Structure 1
Amino acid sequence: MNTKRTGIMLLILLSLSGCAAPEQEESTYIAESSDHKDDFGSGEEQDENEDYELKNIKMKPEEVEELSKSVLEVAEKCQAAYRKAGKNDASDIALQEETVHQMIEDAAKGGLSITCGGTDYNMQNYEKVDQELNKAKKGKNAETEFYEINTSGILRYIRLQFKKQKLYVTSVSAILNDNAKAQIQQVEKIQAYDWEYTQKGWLIWEKALSRNQEMDMHVFYRVLPLDAKCRELGNKCIIPVSYFCNNLFLTDWDVNSMGNLEFNDLYEFLYQMKYGEKMDEEIYEGGIPKIEFEEVVQSFFDISTEQLETFARYDKERGVYPWESIKCWNRIPQFQPFPEVVNYIENEDGSLTLLVEAVFTEGGKDCSFKHEVTIKEQGEGWIYLGNMTEKDESYRILQYRPRRAFYNTNKERTDLDQ
């Protein structure tokens, strides 16, 4: 195994253990050397084992120069919003999503197809990309391009060329730095191992055959727009909780079976939704005071105090609800899909049933499992009324184990995580 791959595996293992390594910037390099020719697959047939290796394609210097110039010109359109955000260089904190969205809007005015590096904004001017992808899906040769901006201030150009049902991807990355000036960071051209354009509108390609989920090579872009109401409901009610270390959307429950929920593990996610900021975990390591816990939980659930005391194991002597922060040892290490509200139903009682599909990038699936979340909007907020998972034809429903279930076998490790 080469050094680069060993490094990648180390980073993955650190993230899985809950002890994440520092975020690293992309390396600057130009992909100009390869055994693959620039005539769309006229090189020799590859050994099956080589499917695991990235197939770089040599680019002509004039092509690199032309593409780099075009990307820098687009970057200029984003400078005003970048400067307005007060971000002076790439070492600053990440851009706010609102700033990224404004940069996208500014760049899209010229008709460019451009999307967000996150999953919370629709691709602008997506129609021509969708048209070419549908041609390629039918086995026809096709070519299209689009841009992407992420919160690190990186602008990425993507050109897709389909020939004989094979996909060739050219990418050029530029980063905005001092004084919002852009510089080219990476240029690359590859032959993708596999690709798919799903019915939902997700473009997925695999840069090289993935050996496993720890060395995943999938790339995901949503091309077809998500309904505005669906996106709003997802951003407000589903994504802030998601599937990480709680079971709100992983178990079946309704208003008559709220005992199935682990409110203690859910608390910090509800707290952030209610107050718009993360809780100070160090203050509450001994438990959450009764009034504070109930005020947060009862903002999102129609549950009596007596029920909550029972379900969340209220400690009357100490006057707190038990709670502990997420650590390396009190959770199940697993890759996390992200939820996407794809539809909703307006019920006769005024509630809404949200149809949610979990997008699992490491598995190469635009839907690894489905679930239905029922909510009811009231005032400026909402309450959760239930969740139902679809067991049939599910690729992978995440495992869940309450944090308290790890305590008896791991309590001697608690002091190591303080």
Structure 2
Amino acid sequence: MQRIKKAVKYGVVLAAALFLAGCSEGQKSDVQTDRQEDVQEDAGAGYDLPIDEEEREEAEQECAAMLELVKEIYQEAVGTDAGRVLTADEAEAMAAMIAGQGDPVTTFDIYQDMKNYEAMDAFLLDCENGRSGEITEYEVYKDGSIGRKKFVCDGEELYVLSVTASWRSGDAKAMGEMSYTRAEEWDYTEKGWFFYKLCTPGYPEVTEVLYSNAMLRVKPYDAECAEISRKYLEPVAYEGNNLLWSDWDPENMAGIDYNGLFQYLYELDSGETFDSSLYTEGIPAEQFESLMTNYLPVTAEQLREYASYDAESGTYAWIALGVGNRTKSVIDLSEPEAVDVEENGDGTVTLTVEAVSEGTMDDTVLTHRLTVRFTGDGGIVFLGNQVEGNTLEKMPEYVYRIQE
């Protein structure tokens, strides 16, 4: 897929400063701390940029006003349970209310369309063509807080002014720390994904790389594909299991990481968060095999052969995902996005799925064709997966959850 790339331009004068401040990916430099502080104070560092007092006041007032606007929806949703998170539908209702003010609005649900997307689309296209402008966008988060981001383009560089408003006890509002930062790089793809990476401090100010990537869906997404992705693909995704990024079919089931897959099928099946403390002694065979055979064309006998199974205790091994059993790959934290639905003559459906990676700012890290059957009770059976091209050859070898 042809992609539209936009890299931030750096001047010769600023090159050394950005190199030291973390806006560059170059080799670390042994500079003195006082020199590093001087660079940070310079606007060329790209982060902790000065904020005009009038701009600050406007951002806080507008963000607080949006929080107040959706107060009734929020209170009805969470009730007295301050720790409860919003459902996708509740967040959508809040977004619709805010969108009535005319600004673009998104939620934490990446499969939900951006409200008033036309304005954001026009702004980004103008930025690509070197035209200056600005736009304010709001985001509804899972905890019910509201984020306000003002994107400013000066014709060359893109900047982000960000602040968040949330509820404390009662009717008290809390404003998060405001930041004004330059985008180190950004990308607006033909599919409508807006990726950006903000400038952050570098060595020696910090010793670990700070994650500053973000992505927003701008252009509308097909409703059928969105529902399939949200309901059936996102719960499984690519982290901690290889169901969607390995080649398999009913005749070739041995390579699936069944022990790693269990927790994700559990959440897909129950709609509840997986509680690993319940399985410290292993997963009972009846529960494990019932779940797997319900979602995959595999038998209990095959599971005992292919998965890590202890016949003496009658349990399948379980261990949480950690450093030693995690595959270090860009696909690991990517999100599955169905882009085509093809009905087959035998009642099955083949989905074309693309993995979207915020970390690498790529909306097609991997493409695979997933064959499924939707059941009459709203369920799904996964029947086979085929990764297109030679993508798997370029990726690290998959690390199985249980090391034997």
TM-score category, normalised to shorter length: 0.7 to 0.9
Q: Is the 8 A contact 1:56 1:191 kept in 2?
A: no
Please give the alpha-carbon distance, in whole angstroms, between the structure 2 residues aligned to 1:72 and 1:395: 50
Of residues 78, 81, 84, the one that matches 1:86 is 78
CA contact (8 A) 1:246 1:265 kept: yes
Match of residue 161 from structure 1: 152
Asked whether the equivalents of residues 85 and 143 of structure 2 are also in contact (C-alpha less than 8 Å), the reply is yes
Cα offset, 1:233, TM superposition: 0.8
Coordinate RMSD, CA, aligned: 2.9
Cα pair 1:210 1:217 within 8 Å, conserved: no
For residue 50 of structure 1, what is the aligned residue in structure 2?
18
* 1:260-279 to 2 correspondences below 5 Å: 260-279=255-274
Identity of aligned residues (%): 28
> Which of 71, 86, 90 lines up with 1:99 in the alignment?
90
Counterpart for residue 131 of structure 2: 140
Residues 1:330 and 1:209: Cα distance change in structure 2 (over 3 Å): closer
Partner of 1:336: 333
Query: What residue in structure 2 maps to residue 225 of structure 1?
Result: 220
Give the secondary structure class of the aligned counterpart of 2:165.
strand
Distance 1:177 1:102, change over 3 A: farther
State the Cα distance separating 1:351 from its structure 2 match: 1.8
Q: CA deviation at 1:279?
A: 4.8
Q: Output the CA distance in 1 between the equivalents of 2:195 and 2:275.
A: 38
Could you say which residue in structure 2 is the equivalent of 1:75?
67
The number of aligned residues is 363
**Cα pair 2:327 2:399 within 8 Å, conserved:** no
Decide whether aligned partners of structure 1 residues 328 and 111 sit closer, same or farther in structure 2, where only a CA change above 3 A counts: same
- Alpha-carbon distance change, 363 to 399 in structure 1, aligned in 2, over 3 angstroms: farther
Q: Give the whole-Å Cα distance in 1 for the aligned partners of 2:176 and 2:384.
A: 47
SS of residue paired to 1:147: strand
- Whole-angstrom CA distance in 2 between matches of 1:268 and 1:256: 24
Residue 368 of structure 1 contacts residue 396 of structure 1 at CA under 8 Å; is this kept in 2? no
Cα distance, 1:170 vs structure 2 = 2.0
Q: CA shift at 1:384, angstroms?
A: 0.4
Could you tell me whether the CA contact under 8 Å between 2:285 and 2:316 is conserved in 1? Answer: no
Task: Pick the aligned partner of 2:230 from 221, 235, 239.
Answer: 235
- Counterpart Cα distance in 2 of 1:277 and 1:151: 16
Partner of 1:390: 388
Q: Rate the CA distance shift 1:375–1:281 in 2: closer, same or farther, 3 A.
A: same
Alpha carbons of 1:251 and 1:358: their partners in 2 closer, same or farther (altered >3 Å)? same
Tell me what 2:28 maps to: none
Are 2:335 and 2:356, in contact at CA under 8 Å, matched by a contact in 1? yes
Q: Which amino acid in structure 1 is aligned with residue 16 of structure 2?
A: E
The letter for the 2-side match of 1:84 is E
1:299 to 288, 294, 297: 294
Report if aligned partners of 2:327, 2:398 keep a CA contact under 8 Å in 1: no
Paired residue type of 1:307: Q
Distance in 2 (CA, whole Å) between partners of 1:398 and 1:337 is: 15
Q: Report whether the alignment pairs 1:251 with 2:243.
A: no
Counterpart Cα distance in 1 of 2:80 and 2:393 = 44
Superposition deviation, residue 119 in structure 1:
1.9
Q: Which amino acid aligns with 1:323?
A: A
Unmatched 5+ stretches in structure 1: 1-40, 408-418
Which one-letter code corresponds to 2:149 in the other structure?
A: I
TM-score normalized by structure 1?
A: 0.78
Please list every run of 5 or more consecutive structure 2 residues that lacks an aligned counterpart in the other structure: 1-8, 23-44
The residue aligned with 2:4 is: none
Match among 164, 168, 174 for residue 183 of structure 1: 174
> Mean alpha-carbon deviation: is it higher for 224-233 or for 387-396?
387-396
Q: Partners of 2:114 and 2:318 in 1: how far apart?
A: 40
Q: Spell out, residue by residue over 1:222-257, the C-alpha distance to the aligned partner (whole angstroms, 9 max, x if none).
A: 111221111111112211111222111121001111
